[in-house]
Every structure is written in C-alpha cells, then in structure tokens.
Amino acid sequence: EAEVTSAFPLCRRYVAGERCKSTAKLEGKVVIITGANTGIGKETARDLAQRGKVIIACRDIAKAEAAASEIRAETGNQQVIVKKLDLADTKSIREFAEKFLAEEKELHILINNAGVMLCPYSKTADGFEMHLGVNHLGHFLLTFLLLERLKQSAPARIVNVSSLAHHGGRIRFHDLHGEKCYNRGLAYCHSKLANVLFTRELARRLQGKSQRQAGFTANALHPGSVHSELVRHSFVMTWLWKIFSFFLKTPCEGAQTSIYCAVAEELDSVTGQYFSDCQPAYVSPRGRDDETAKKLWSVSCELLGIQWD
C-alpha cells in the first residue's frame, strides 16, 4: 500500500511536466496574450504579470475583467489591461491593432494563445471555417498588424500555442473551409498544423533579415494535455476530461512552456522551433514541409486581403 501511495506523487509529477525556471523580469516591457481570461492563457498572464505589463486580449470582456482583477490583486501589478479582441472577426482584429498601436509605443512579446476546439461546423464573420479562422488566420492577421511594432521593440518574441494534435493534421488546400468534408476533431488538428507551419515560415523570413541579430524570434509549442474549458464543445471530451483529470495538466502546469518560450534567456536567439515541456520537441514531417508552409502563407494572405512579403 505504501508503494502505491508513493507512486501517486511520482505519477502526478510526471504528468505535470517541466516548470519554467527563468526568473527574468520584464520591467518596461509590454506583453499581449490572446484568450487570457481562462485556462493556460490566464495562468500565463498571471505569471508574466509578476514580471511586467500584460495586455489581456479577449472576446468576452466581462470574463477578461474578472481574470485581470484577480491577477492585479494577486500580483499587485496594476498594469494588467483588458482589450477587446474577437479573432473570429477581422474587423475586430484590425480595431484592436489600431487602438493598441495608438496607445502603446512598444511591444516585446506577442503570445498567440487563444483557440477553439471541436466546434460544430460554423464560420467566422468573414466566412472562414471556425478552427482555421480563429486558430490560424486570426493570429496570422494579428501578427501581421503588430509586426512593425515588434520589430521596433526588438529584442522581441512571438509565441504561437500549437498542439501535439498537429501530428494528425494536414493542410487541405482543396477544401480549406471544410465545405466538402468536415470532421471537428480533424479540423482542430489541421489548424494546429497551420500554427506550426506559420511559425516555421515566419522564422525563416525573419532570419533572412537583421532582426535575427536583434533577437527577434518566433517559436511554437505544445502545452500538454490540459484540464481546461477548451473541450467545452464536446460532451464526450468534457466527460472524459473529468474522469481522467488526474492524468491531465492543470492550467498552471500547461502554461509553463508558453512562459518558457516568452522569457527564458537561453532562447534569446532560438527561432522557428517547437517546444513541449520546456524543451525542443519532435515536429511531424508535415510540420517540416517548407513548400506547404510557403503555400499556406500565400493562401492566408489572399484570404485576408493582405500583402506580407
């Protein structure tokens, strides 16, 4: 019985994974985290608020204000600010960026964290399939709009929250919006693969420029299997998540790799990589396909009506 009891903490420690050990401060620095009103986004904001100024960019302002208020009280940092951002609407993304650029002269860390998972078939305000629209295209446009401010503030970092699920994804250029064939589990996987490919191509483009010397990086990560609201669209997954919660990371544990990618000093010049448990992780062959990454970039620009060379 003693052996079984001692095995539980060991098992729990294994599930929890690595913690970000960096104590780096972000004094005078500005961080944007999308979807930080709940789950790993909120825990990432809670940690980074102990280091510097954090802007919580969310669709649900009431929930975001409640989260920000809690974080301010806990950290004593009044520089935890809420801004409206709906990644399912390009108009909202442009308005957010416009207001941010008018109010803030610097941006040092952009964490593209928000996401949807297992949605029944639906489309964004612009007619994009919801997973692709929010998880990939919304963050693609947001990054594009804030890129110059990030460059001016370098050293700067872009952190894209992807998932191990990218291994099950493929970029179906012939049916990007799932109009011919839709499976909500696969749609999530496809969007997470898009995150990995976007990170890879963005890093490649930045590497060819002087930003590399200035420490301007872009990395992606898998947070782990986390007990969060992300599975709310699936009754079965919600039920399974409750039953197996012991084997899932808490949101705080799930946030560690996001925090690591945002602040760890040893990543100052590391770019285009994919991390899990605060260390480099294996990327699927599809996630390493440069031709697909370039084509996805070009198609994303077309869909969003932007020129990003």
- Per-residue pLDDT tens digits of the chain, which is 309 residues long: 444 344 445 554 556 678 999 999 999 999 999 999 999 999 999 999 999 999 999 999 999 999 999 999 999 999 999 999 999 999 999 999 999 999 999 999 999 999 999 899 999 999 999 999 999 999 999 999 999 999 999 999 999 999 999 999 999 999 999 999 999 999 999 999 999 999 999 999 998 764 444 689 999 999 987 655 554 555 555 545 454 454 577 889 999 999 999 999 999 999 999 999 999 999 999 999 999 999 999 999 999 999 998
Give the integer Cα–Cα distance in Å for 300 and 309. 12
Give the integer Cα–Cα distance in Å for 162 and 253. 16
CATH code for the domain defined by 22-302: 3.40.50.720
Q: What is the DSSP letter of 272?
A: S
Query: What pLDDT does residue 5 have?
Result: 43
Amino acid identity at 115: G
Query: What pLDDT does residue 97 have?
Result: 98
Catalytic residue among 14, 188, 274, 282: 188
Is 188 an annotated catalytic residue?
yes
Task: For 36, list phi and psi in degrees, rounded to 5.
Answer: -100, 25
Kindly give the pairing relationship between strand 26-34 and strand 279-280: unpaired
Six-digit token pair at 228?
A: 């969060």
Query: What pLDDT does residue 236 have?
Result: 58
Overall residue count recorded for the chain in this entry: 309
| Of 270, 265, 144, 256, residue with least CA distance to 216 | 270
Task: For 79, list phi and psi in degrees, rounded to 5.
Answer: -90, 50
Query: What pLDDT does residue 18 have?
Result: 85
Task: Compute, in degrees rounded to 10, the torsion defined by CA atoms 62, 131, 300, 154.
Answer: 50
Give the integer Cα–Cα distance in Å for 213 and 271. 12
| Of 27, 178, 18, 165, residue with least CA distance to 108 | 27
Strand ordering across the sheet containing 109-112: 80-84, 52-58, 26-34, 109-112, 156-161, 216-222, 274-276, 279-280
Query: What pLDDT does residue 215 have?
Result: 84
Q: Please report the DSSP string for 74-127 in residue order.
A: HH----EEEEE--TT-HHHHHHHHHHHHHH-S---EEEE-----SPPS-B-TTS
Domain edges within the chain: 22-302
Query: What pLDDT does residue 207 have?
Result: 86
Query: What pLDDT does residue 224 have?
Result: 84
Query: What pLDDT does residue 250 have?
Result: 83
3-state secondary structure of 224: coil
Query: What pLDDT does residue 307 have?
Result: 97
Give the integer Cα–Cα distance in Å for 299 and 295. 6
Query: What pLDDT does residue 257 have?
Result: 97
| Of 279, 280, 224, 250, residue with least CA distance to 12 | 250
